[in-house]
Amino acid sequence: MSETIKLEPKLRETRWEPKLEEELLARWDSEKLYVFRKDSRRRLFLIDTPPPYPSGRPWHIGAAAHYTQIDMIARTARMMGYEVYFPIGIDRNGIPVERFVEREMKIRLTSLPREEFIRICSQTLDQLEAEMLWIMKRAGLSGDFENKYRTDSEEYRSLTQATFIELFRKGLIYRASRPNNFCPDCGTTIADAEVDYAEMPTDLVYMRFDLADGGEIVVASTRPELLGACRAVIYNSSDERYQHLDGQRAVVPIYGREVPIIAHSAARPEFGTGLVMVCSYGDRTDVQLFRELGLEEVILIGLDGRMLEAAGPLKGMTVEEARRRIVELLSSEGRVVKVEKIMHQVPICERSNTPIEIIPMEEYYLTQLSLREELLDAGSRMTFYPEFHRQLLVDWINSLKFDWPISRRRYYATEIPIWYCKSCGWPNLPPPGKYYRPWKESPPFSRCEKCGGGEFEGEERTLDTWVDSSISPLFISGYMRDEKFFRRAYPVALRPQGKDIVRTWLYYTLLRCYQLTGRPPFKSVWVSGMGLDEKGEKMSKSKGNVIDPRPVLEKYGADIFRFWCAQEASLGYDFRISEARIQAAGKFLTKLWNVARYVSQFPQPKGARLLPSDRWILSELSALIGEVLNGYKEYNFFIPATKVRNFLWNLFASHYVEMTKMRALGRTSNGQGARAAWYTLHTVLKSCLLLLAPITPFVTDYIWRTLYSERSIHLERFPRPRWDKSYTKYTERLVFFNSDVWRRKKEMNLSLREPIRISVPEELSPFREDLVAMHNIVEEG
RNA sequence: GGGGCCGUGGUCUAGCGGUAUGACGCCGCCCUCACACGGCGGAGGUCGCCGGUUCGAAUCCGGCCGGCCCCA
């Protein structure tokens, strides 16, 4: 018998064209493939997508890779049968955009009316946001773009304020005056998490101090301008040189104040002379020493970064001017022993990159220290992918030393919702649920709740931007706005994020959500590594090694980029980004395409009587599906990408397809055999497409719709490993045998089609017919 | 100063208790009717260094060296 069928591939082009992706994007859009159905009966899977910040820096390729992987998580969850909410949010509050506007327009925050400055920031954000959204869409993110949220929207900010009001009423927010990190350049207090350290060349000044009872000592300091705030000199009790100083007093040069000399472990004998002056406040250690030793602080630096009255002859100077001047003054008194150039770690503001000062200010604080144990416990109830990154969170919680100062003296951020009574000063809070701007609005009440006074002054400060970002899981799950949904959706399924913001975003979210709900905000946390440059170094504007993702997406298309992402970055580990490797990843898509093109010429029988070769590849397919699904369960896309690639290329295409080619093309007489090959070819291809769909959504959907269904592959589930795996025992032997025949033909200078005399080993006898046809074997004997 | 991760052929990478995976690059042959962004074959490493555990270590333990990242 012979079925007369004209074999014609349904895929015509010889390779996958990235241009085809754009048609698919439009199609997905119009079909509303990825819309979240809130009332679905399926199990919910909410992803607390990191709302990226359009800060003015190019959104670099590492970020695009990161969001692409998050999209793979969303697609994975859908194919596992969840109703997935993959929200698209944009973080638009806080200092970064203000700094960007100040730099670009060469203005200061305070040089424009507040309203005007806010308007400019908002417009700037719109532009930057549009670029970012283009990248996200083009990369094939299956997020809910139609309902994207912004953290500076009325709805979001009113929720931020509502949580502030709630925590204030719970007594977890308090006002206090204490030394804080202050950035004179940004003009605001910042939190520890916003402080970076930079190694800078610094002068270490060796200064001669008199002792009150005669004699002298030499004290070294990098902050001589703080001499006027020196309240003690310390040495290490193990330091042999200074045992005689115990109980003595030193006289501070220029200022003439007598201060105690105290033994303290904070003094390092090897630094400078081993004698250190303690002043308010050179660094965080000084703050602790002042507290511990009960010293009285002297404030030398004002909010404008200039020296105050107490600085005496330095008054009015900037910190740097004062540092130069004090050395001159000391020199003229013969008190400078030497000046040493050293490399010194200087605390700087992560936004402005300028040195910070520690200045006591009155700010609002959110309690965190007293919750340490509870937070550790709540954190321990979240699953981490990979587990080893849990340590980043634990270490940070254990290292907390101060409560979180949350008020900021900036404009483009959520306002602190407080009006102060003009007669008694009492802070009056409005009811939660609305967005308040106390700096320009009158309060929604008429009487002070404390004294009944009727006149108020609105708070002008805003909140740290992390106060907003830290409630994203509450925002997306309907907290305070849709209690019914909230009960089903919270804690949300997953927080995906980079390891670099564990101490900020993850920690703050845990803190705030725990305070508000008494529960951890996530069931699981997925922590990815960082995208580094070809040399393995961090990408940064200053190094000039930043890669813009847009030209890459345009040149190679999203799927090549995505497949590269998946096979390059193993879960949680840093990965290197190079265009050559992205390009190389494209080869696999060509291979996939051509395998599909070959298979596409055959009819699709519903069933068939399988031959051993067919059973063999289906055995391997079952094993593959098992491994791949395990990778997907841990959101480790490296596993599916490399396993499918290896299977499809090195087993399916190289061996199975070649073994069955004659049979499938009808060159052997047996029509049953052809059907079996067709059935198997399609089964394997379909399964591979499904297994790759979360990683390369474009090419798989294109092939799927061309060959199998009008309906998108993205509405399907993952395949199940439903074939007997016993035939995998033949794999090694088959591969070896085929290679051996190829090698021999090569040695004999035969083309692959020419006949060869060779015997098929006994162990492979089940495959004899296919192998004979494949290699054109003339059996011996 | 503390913490994390890593150190495998020229480059990158898998493996994490039984003498090493794949990619890129390189060399040679081949346009074999899915694919030359392809196929086949080949050269190339003893897994940073030292010591220990073990019948056996790239794989476990300890120390050292080097790189990267984070924190103080």
User: Nearest nt (C1') to A268 (CA)?
Assistant: B1
Look at the block and give the residue holding tokens 């497409």. Answer: A689
Q: CA-to-CA distance for A251 and A365, rounded, in angstroms? A: 37
Q: CA-to-CA distance for A624 and A443, rounded, in angstroms? A: 64
Pair of tokens at residue A150: 């912004």
CB A707 within 8 A of CB A9: no
Look at the block and give the residue holding tokens 């204030």. Answer: A168
- The gap between A731 CA and B37 C1' (Å) is 28
ipTM of the complex: 0.91
Q: CA-to-CA distance for A301 and A223, rounded, in angstroms? A: 12
Pair of tokens at residue A714: 């993205």
- The gap between A388 CA and B51 C1' (Å) is 28
C-alpha torsion angle, residues A353, A283, A187, A369 (rounded to 10):
100
Q: CA-to-CA distance for A766 and A733, rounded, in angstroms? A: 12
> 3-state DSSP call for residue A732?
helix
User: Nearest nt (C1') to A389 (CA)?
Assistant: B4
Q: Which residues of A507-529 are buried (b: 16+ CB within 10 A; e: fewer)?
A: bbbbbbbbbbbeebbbbbbbbbb
- The gap between A692 CA and B59 C1' (Å) is 31
Strands A357-366 and A404-405: antiparallel
- pLDDT, tens digit, for every residue of A420-452? 999 999 999 999 999 999 999 999 999 999 999
One-letter amino acid identity for A722? R
Pair of tokens at residue A378: 């709540």
- The gap between A586 CA and B36 C1' (Å) is 15
Strand B footprint nucleotides (protein C-beta < 7 Å): 3-6, 12-15, 22-24, 28-30, 32-42, 67-72
- Residue A218's closest CA among A250, A260, A248? A250
- The gap between A657 CA and B32 C1' (Å) is 14
One-letter amino acid identity for A547? I
Pair of tokens at residue A491: 């804690």
- The gap between A300 CA and B46 C1' (Å) is 64
User: Nearest nt (C1') to A193 (CA)?
Assistant: B71
- The gap between A713 CA and B67 C1' (Å) is 44
How far the first Cα of chain A sits from its last, in Å, is 30
User: Nearest nt (C1') to A743 (CA)?
Assistant: B41
**Model-level pTM?**
0.89
User: Nearest nt (C1') to A600 (CA)?
Assistant: B34
Cα A380 to its chain centre, rounded Å, is: 20
Pair of tokens at residue A662: 């004659």
Q: What is the pLDDT of residue A779?
A: 73
Q: What is the pLDDT of residue A1?
A: 38
Q: Which residue gives the smallest C-alpha to C1' distance to B38?
A: A591
- The gap between A181 CA and B48 C1' (Å) is 42
Strands A144-150 and A87-90: parallel
Residues A657, A663, A666, A668: is their CA dihedral positive or negative? Answer: positive
- DSSP-assigned states of every residue in A562-627: HHHHHHH--TTS-EE--HHHHHHHHHHHHHHHHHHHHHTTS---S-----HHHHHHHHHHHHHHHH
User: Nearest nt (C1') to A735 (CA)?
Assistant: B40
Q: How many CA atoms lie within 13 A of A457 on its CB side?
A: 9
Averages of pLDDT over each 10 residues, chain A, 781 residues: 61 86 94 92 94 77 90 96 96 85 85 92 91 93 94 96 97 91 86 80 90 92 92 88 90 93 85 89 86 87 89 92 94 92 83 86 92 92 89 88 88 95 96 96 95 94 93 96 95 92 91 95 91 80 80 91 87 84 88 94 93 94 92 90 91 92 84 92 96 96 96 96 89 88 85 86 91 85 51
| Backbone φ and ψ of A219, nearest 5° | -115, 135
Pair of tokens at residue A62: 């590492």
CB A767 within 8 A of CB A663: no
CB A411 within 8 A of CB A417: no
> 3-state DSSP call for residue A184?
coil
> Facing residues of A357 across strands?
A182
CB A278 within 8 A of CB A234: yes
- The gap between A344 CA and B40 C1' (Å) is 60
Respond yes or no on whether the N-terminal peptide bond of residue A281 is cis (omega within 30° of 0): yes
One-letter amino acid identity for A412? Y
> Facing residues of A307 across strands?
A301
| Backbone φ and ψ of A451, nearest 5° | -115, -5
Respond yes or no on whether the N-terminal peptide bond of residue A355 is cis (omega within 30° of 0): no
User: Nearest nt (C1') to A9 (CA)?
Assistant: B34
> 3-state DSSP call for residue A54?
coil
> 3-state DSSP call for residue A125?
helix
Report CA-CA distances (Å) from A507 to A113, A128, A388: 35, 27, 16
- DSSP-assigned states of every residue in A188-215: EEE-GGGEEEEEEEEEEEEEEEEETTS-
Pair of tokens at residue A143: 């997020």
- The gap between A569 CA and B14 C1' (Å) is 12
User: Nearest nt (C1') to A665 (CA)?
Assistant: B33
- The gap between A564 CA and B9 C1' (Å) is 23
Pair of tokens at residue A129: 């946001």
Q: What is the pLDDT of residue A669?
A: 66
Strands A230-235 and A216-221: unpaired
User: Nearest nt (C1') to A591 (CA)?
Assistant: B35
